[in-house]
Amino acid sequence: MSTVPFTKEEPDPVTATRVLVLNSGSSSLKYQLLDMARPSPTTLNGAETDSSRLASGIVERIGEAGGVADHSAALKQVADELSSQGLGLDSPELAAVGHRVVHGGTRFTEPTLITDEVVSEIEKLVPLAPLHNPANVTGIKVARELRPDLPQVAVFDTAFHSGMPEAAARYAIDRATADRYGVRRYGFHGTSHAYVSRATAALLGKEPSEVNVIVLHLGNGASASAVRGGVCVDTSMGLTPLEGLVMGTRSGDIDPAVVFHLARVAGLGVDDIDNLLNKRSGLVGLCGDNDMREIGRRIAEDDADAQLAFDVYVHRLRKYVGAYSAVLGRVDAIAFTAGVGENSAAVREAALIGLEPLGIEIDAVRNAVRGSAARLVSTRTSRVAVAVVPTDEELEIAQQAYSLVRP
Ligand code: AMP
């Protein structure tokens, strides 16, 4: 067979530039298909056009009545939805699948090309994340079955925090016990903290290495991080996502002796207390609602429980702003992100008002303006820039996965 030289009429060889991002939970599978060759919000520096996002969706109620049977069926549904849009998983343009994996322990500190060995290592971390890692592993296995030839990359929620100094990562408990059982601060929401700290530097026209940023990721789950020159040096979530800020349904920081007290005095078992602190605490525990919009409405009607929930939430947030200001020494920016951080001007203002002695001056007018792009809400004279920076965990996962497999 003779080789035919390229002619103008022939298509160029296809360059694979698309990444499918999968986030599999126990009963849901979220997906996004991104094209890394097209402009994304980061390359556009906050502009709103985003042609990188080709498709997105969610399959819910996996394994429940009215839903698909299992994750395998869920991924087939995703594949069918993509095919119907001409974006099938068999496309030669697909470069990789990027999987969100919640817990990487101390083993995984970077995006990792998935092999059989990597899958079994992630499975070994299940005791550290019993709710999340099994679902993540299922998603990985199903995707590998569907496209065994395609590179699959695991991006860990803990990875960005793995550079924390021991002084921040260590709990002050018996070292042998801690080491034997992997008890230390790992931190979560790492893809968001990584993305937002970089996007904040870009908003200031600086390199990540030049700025110190406090990132406040305030969603239903919430965490703070102190990022020095692009490296996370402390974060509020710990061994699990329970520690730190007040969240929608989680308590955040409490005296650990609360657990013993409830076991001894109330006769609650470990699972009851786990459920109490993770599912029936935080905003919902204090006022019955975990949606900050509803809490705002109730406060406007002088609801004392909603006001207390808001006050406790904001008090904790201010404590972390102060603590991380001290950890960083010099703070260049404070960035608010996720559902509450991006949308609640009231929380942002209450968290930072009166902190002028720390160089933090929030501008009430700029703060009240709604928007979907990254923006500054501090006064022009504020020493510390206060920013609202929409997070984009899927884009971050896609970029990390693509950087690993790009030809
Ligand atoms: P996330 O986990 O990032 O999706 O954030 C979800 C949370 O964001 C919800 O539980 C609400 O409390 C909050 N949220 C969403 N939209 C708004 C809004 N417009 N104002 C205040 N809070 C909001």
Residues 213 and 145 reside in one and the same domain: no
Q: Catalytic pick from 157, 234, 289, 392?
A: 157
Pairing state between β 112-113 and 152-156: antiparallel
| In a domain? residue 103 | yes
Residues 122 and 28 reside in one and the same domain: yes
DSSP 357: G
Residues 141 and 257 reside in one and the same domain: no
| In a domain? residue 113 | yes
| pLDDT, position 13 | 56
| In a domain? residue 201 | no
Residues 101 and 218 reside in one and the same domain: no
| In a domain? residue 165 | no
Which regions of 118-230 does DSSP assign to beta strands (E)? 152-156, 212-218, 222-228
Q: CATH number of the domain at 210, please.
A: 3.30.420.40
Residues 235 and 119 reside in one and the same domain: no
Give the distance, in angstroms, between the CA of residue 177 and the centroid of all CA atoms in the same chain. 29
Residues 254 and 361 reside in one and the same domain: yes
Distances from the Cα of 67 to the Cαs of 29, 59, 77, in angstroms? 12, 8, 11
How many distinct structural domains can be found in the chain?
A: 2
| pLDDT, position 48 | 52
Residues 108 and 214 reside in one and the same domain: no
Cα 338 to ligand 1 centroid, rounded to whole Å: 7
| pLDDT, position 1 | 39
| In a domain? residue 194 | no
What distance in Å separates the CA atoms of residue 128 and residue 262, rounded to the nearest whole number?
Answer: 23
DSSP-derived 3-state class of residue 84: helix
Residues 9 and 88 reside in one and the same domain: yes
Task: Indicate which atom in ligand 1 lies nearest the CA of residue 283.
Answer: 12
| In a domain? residue 179 | no
Answer yes or no: 289 catalytic. Answer: no
| In a domain? residue 394 | no
Question: Considering 98, 125, 156, which residue would you say is the last residue of a domain?
Answer: 156
Residues 46 and 150 reside in one and the same domain: yes
What distance in Å separates the CA atoms of residue 67 and residue 81, rounded to the nearest whole number?
Answer: 16
Question: Considering 156, 171, 192, which residue would you say is the last residue of a domain?
Answer: 156
For the chain, how many residues are written?
A: 407
Cα 341 to ligand 1 centroid, rounded to whole Å: 8
| pLDDT, position 39 | 75
The per-residue pLDDT for range 376-385, each reduced to its tens digit, is 999 999 999 9
What distance in Å separates the CA atoms of residue 313 and residue 310, rounded to the nearest whole number?
Answer: 5
Among 343, 347, 367, say which to mutate for ligand 1: greatest number of ligand atoms within 8 Å of CB.
343
Which residue, by CA, sits nearest to atom 2 of ligand 1?
Answer: 219
| In a domain? residue 43 | yes
Q: Is the CB of 293 under 6 A from ligand 1?
A: yes
Residues 211 and 151 reside in one and the same domain: no
Structural domain including 30 reads 2-156
Which residue, by CA, sits nearest to atom 11 of ligand 1?
Answer: 291
pLDDT under 50: residue ranges of the chain? 1-11, 46-47
Cα 311 to ligand 1 centroid, rounded to whole Å: 17
Residues 131 and 35 reside in one and the same domain: yes
Closest CA to 28 of 56, 55, 68: 68
Residues 112 and 229 reside in one and the same domain: no
| pLDDT, position 88 | 86
Question: Considering 156, 182, 216, which residue would you say is the last residue of a domain?
Answer: 156
| pLDDT, position 42 | 60
